[in-house]
Amino acid sequence: MPADRRGRSVHREQGIALLVVLWACTLLAILLGGFATLARTEAKQTRYLSTRAQLRYIAEAGVMRAMAEITAKDGGRWIGDGRPYGLSIDGQRVDIRIVDELGKVDINTVDPQVLRNLFVAAGMDAADATALADNVRESRDAAGAFNRAEGVQRYTQAGQAGGPRYSEFNAPDELQTVLGMTPALYRKIAPVLTVWSRRATPAPAFAPPLALAALPGMDMATAKRFASTRDAISAKMPLPMLPNGMPMGNTRGSNVRTIVASATGKDGTVSRVSATVRIDHVRGRGSASILRWQEDAAE
């Protein structure tokens, strides 16, 4: 083979070899970059999960601290009307709210007009709120006052084959099965719902603003102003008259309360724990039985 042809062949082979090496280096760089990105992502996920776990335990500690307060022999200093209490646990901020179940809307016994007002206060159209309140009455009815065949048909046509329950609700969450209830509306009203008060109206002494707004003659603006005035009054002072003229009613509270503890991390991550507890006093000492426990619950 002539020398010049042999030289060109060698140069061509060297060029191909160099190209292969360059492609191999490029592929290796891509793989290393992918592995580095994956490692960073996994590290972030690990830190996030670790932070969430730590905050959850801190929120649980906040619940335990509140339980110790409300089961104290003297009744404790923390009032169950939804006002905020703050403390620091292991350097993390914990916000705690306690709501006596008397101040909530009992979906099994509430007056239908109050239920309608609650839906309106949460932003629902008045006509839709009236229809939804009627559907709740139908669903909780065990006496046969409604046409059950017609009710089942309406639910079936709406894609809810189960139909109305025709019995009392066992937990507030079950309100989500009622025809017309939406996830967005339920998230708004969930913090003021109960099945443990057995009242037709929320007790104003303990009701959060949204529950107060459901009372006759009240709205959200009026409810917020009243709640602000009420919360600023010392526990030993008499409570003011409701703007709508209703009597204040029960101010002693019940033995069932819901504690919501929110722990916030330095990066803004929040973990929230909610516990509904029944307080029993035996021989002057208080103890608490947990009726419902929720993690990442509504505030």
Q: Cβ of 113: how many Cβ atoms within 10 Å?
A: 15
- Listed in sequence order, the residues at least 6 apart from 278 whose beta carbon sits closer than 8 Å to its beta carbon are 255, 256, 288, 289, 291
Which two tokens mark 40? 């960073």
Supply the pLDDT for residue 12: 66
Mean pLDDT of 242-262: 86
Quote the pTM value: 0.78
Region of poorest pLDDT, from 246-250, 261-265, 295-299: 295-299
89 is a domain residue? no
Parent domain of 149: 112-182
Supply the pLDDT for residue 115: 97
Supply the pLDDT for residue 235: 62
CA distance 16 to 2: 22
Supply the pLDDT for residue 7: 55
189 is a domain residue? no
Phi-psi group of 267: left, alpha or beta (phi > 0 → left; psi -120 to 50 → alpha; rest → beta): alpha
Nearest alpha carbon to residue 257 among 298, 230, 289: 289
Nearest alpha carbon to residue 117 among 244, 213, 206, 221: 213
pLDDT, tens digit (0-9, with 9 covering 90-100), for 78-106: 888 888 899 988 888 899 999 999 999 99
Supply the pLDDT for residue 3: 53
The domain total for the chain is: 1
158 is a domain residue? yes
87 is a domain residue? no
> Does residue 139 surpass a pLDDT of 80?
yes
Supply the pLDDT for residue 288: 81
> Does residue 42 surpass a pLDDT of 80?
no
147 is a domain residue? yes
164 is a domain residue? yes
pLDDT, tens digit (0-9, with 9 covering 90-100), for 117-128: 999 999 999 999
172 is a domain residue? yes
pLDDT, tens digit (0-9, with 9 covering 90-100), for 49-83: 777 888 999 999 999 999 988 888 766 788 888 88
Supply the pLDDT for residue 219: 93
Which of 28-42, 210-224, 269-283: highest mean pLDDT? Answer: 210-224
Which two tokens mark 43? 């590290």
Band of residue 259 on the pLDDT scale cut at 50, 70, 90: very high
289 is a domain residue? no
